[in-house]
Amino acid sequence: MKILLVEDEEAIRSGLTDLLVYHGYQVECARDGEEALNKAREQNYELVILDIMLPKIDGFTVCETLRREKPSTPIIMLTAKDAEEDVIAGLSLGADDYVTKPFSLKELLLRIEAILRRVYPDVATREIILLGAEFEIDLSACEVKDLCSPENAVAKLTFREADILRYLYRQKHRAVSRDELLIEVWGYRKESGIETRTVDIHIAKLRQKIERDTQAPQYLVTIRSKGYQLQGFRESE
């Protein structure tokens, strides 16, 4: 999922970029309205996050132009607090949603996810991960198909195992620590006692299902002193 972030304030731009990349999105930035329109014309984004007060061309004009030229690209506007008329103007120019500054990052993330689920239901529900040419994982069905076995033998995943894979896949460009898995997958709070053994046991069980050689994992890889990372997957079409 590629997001175009249009924001002239450096601090917000870099903070948001870090957050979105951390959550598995690809992000490109534009610093003013002109750059935003140029980028949006050059390639397709799944979502545009658009500030209103921008140099060169303001956010309203960008919104209106995008709506005309890229009618299906969802737009979330960033508006100043207490600027109700901005919200109304933005929505009437075709923005799909808005978040008022200063916004909580969690709130913005939830808005983004909600819009993406609504606009791209197929992508959201398609949960197939291919590991090399060996395994096909269907996360929603909690199944792993061994593509090399004569009858494509199927192993069942527990919900927890599927959640771990789903999370690792969403963070696929980086390693994920055990603490992070405990917080994000198990829902443990940071301050609670961290039971890293729990994670290791689940990883070991997962490897029995998605690795040929559990002693030399190719897909669910340990990155030393960083955690676990999913590697060797192919993007399914």
Q: Interface with Ca ion by CB under 5 A: which range of 26-34, 48-56, 96-104, 128-136? A: 48-56
Nearer to Ca ion, 53 or 155 (CB): 53
Out of 4, 6, 8, 142, which residue is the one contacting Ca ion (CB under 5 A)?
A: 8
- The residue ranges of DSSP E strands in 60-192, in sequence order, are 75-80, 97-101, 128-131, 135-138, 143-146, 154-156
Tokens of 34: 């002109």
Out of 32, 51, 161, 163, which residue is the one contacting Ca ion (CB under 5 A)?
A: 51
Distance CA 24, CA 117 (A): 15
35 touching Ca ion, by CB under 5 A: no
Question: What are 106-112's contacts with CB under 8 Å, separation 24+?
Answer: 108/16, 108/49, 108/76, 109/19, 109/23, 111/76, 112/3, 112/20, 112/25, 112/47, 112/49, 112/76
12 touching Ca ion, by CB under 5 A: no
Least distance (Å) between residue 12 CB and Ca ion: 8
Distance CA 20, CA 106 (A): 11
Distance CA 204, CA 147 (A): 21
Nearer to Ca ion, 1 or 89 (CB): 89
| Count of residues touching Ca ion (by CB under 5 A) | 3
Nearer to Ca ion, 97 or 136 (CB): 97
Length of the chain as a residue count: 237
* Residue 4 φ then ψ, to 5°: -100, 120
Q: Interface with Ca ion by CB under 5 A: which range of 44-52, 86-94, 174-182, 213-221? A: 44-52
Q: Interface with Ca ion by CB under 5 A: which range of 28-36, 46-54, 116-124, 135-143? A: 46-54
Query: 10 Å Cβ neighbour count for 110?
Result: 12
Nearer to Ca ion, 40 or 157 (CB): 40
86 touching Ca ion, by CB under 5 A: no
Q: Interface with Ca ion by CB under 5 A: which range of 25-33, 45-53, 101-109, 148-156? A: 45-53
Residue number of the CB closest to Ca ion reads 53
Least distance (Å) between residue 64 CB and Ca ion: 17
For Ca ion, the binding residues (CB under 5 A) are: 8, 51, 53
